């Protein structure tokens, strides 16, 4: 799953890169977590970046055995391909989820170790997402896929990262859903890198640029008070 990511890029740079304007002031977020309002671009309004809560709450979720207070934060690409649950969303409610890196935890004998994944070019990018109108506001979920050869070393899933051409096509109102499904492959590992980061990331209370910095295992002490 994808449960944490970052958007440390400035508002001005994001507006220039995505050719869209924020509707309200945006502050960098180095530990973006479910339920937080985060920057997305909806296909119904590709010229604006809005801040929307992470986690959709489809009607069927209320009547299922799935209990998630934040709603559904991830949608598997395989689910979109095999089931009709999100057929309408895929056709009519696609969005770009703006990011510049995501985090994943690796299970080890010494506990879970957090890692950060970024593009080698160190540029912002977009996850493929779907949005819904829930409780009077737009909310979003990130689409995940099978991992590439790099990401699988840490986790069995990774978010769908769109390349430059795909991010524009993803917002196109006329995009054929079949073509949309073909965009949900793993991002090429040769264009990515990853490294260990502080365990302070474990708590969504902490939001500091140092969470994005590479550290060695010997530095990764559990005592958060010594880190920040």
Q: Is 131 helix (H, G, I), strand (E, B) or coil?
A: strand
- How far are the Cα atoms of 57, 90, 132, 139, 175 from residue 136, in angstroms, in the given order? 11, 20, 10, 9, 26
Residue 2 annotated to the active site? yes
Task: Give rounded-to-5 percent helix, strand, coil for the chain.
Answer: 25, 35, 40
Select which of 24, 82, 95, 104 is catalytic.
104
DSSP state of 23: S
Catalytic residue among 2, 95, 132, 166: 2
Strands 74-76 and 137-145: what pairing?
parallel
Contact 196, 212 (CB under 8 A): no
Mark whether 104 is an active-site residue. yes
* Residue 177 phi, psi (nearest 5): -55, -30
Three-state secondary structure call for residue 170:
helix
Q: How far, in Å, CA of 50 to CA of 152, rounded? A: 32
Catalytic residues: 2, 104
């Amino acid at each position: 799953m994808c449960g944490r990511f970052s958007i440390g890029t400035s508002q001005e740079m994001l507006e220039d890169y995505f050719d869209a304007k924020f509707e309200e002031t945006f502050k960098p977020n180095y530990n973006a977590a479910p339920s937080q309002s985060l920057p997305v671009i909806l296909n119904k309004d590709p010229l604006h970046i809005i801040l929307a809560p992470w986690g959709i709450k489809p009607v069927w979720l209320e009547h299922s055995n799935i209990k998630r207070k934040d709603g559904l934060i991830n949608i598997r690409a395989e689910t979109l391909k095999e089931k009709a649950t999100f057929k309408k969303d895929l056709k009519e409610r696609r969005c770009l989820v703006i990011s510049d890196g995501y985090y994943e935890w690796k299970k080890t004998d010494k506990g879970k170790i957090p890692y950060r994944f970024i593009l080698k070019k160190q540029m912002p990018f977009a996850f493929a997402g779907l949005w819904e109108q829930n409780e009077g506001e737009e909310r979003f979920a990130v689409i995940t896929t099978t991992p590439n050869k790099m990401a699988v070393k840490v986790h069995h899933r990774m978010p769908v990262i769109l390349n430059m051409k795909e991010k524009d096509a993803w917002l196109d109102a006329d995009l054929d859903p079949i073509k949309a499904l073909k965009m949900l492959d793993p991002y090429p590992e040769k264009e990515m890198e990853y490294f260990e980061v502080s365990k302070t990331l474990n708590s969504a209370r902490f939001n500091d640029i140092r969470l994005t910095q590479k550290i060695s295992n010997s530095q990764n002490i559990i005592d958060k008070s010594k880190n920040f």
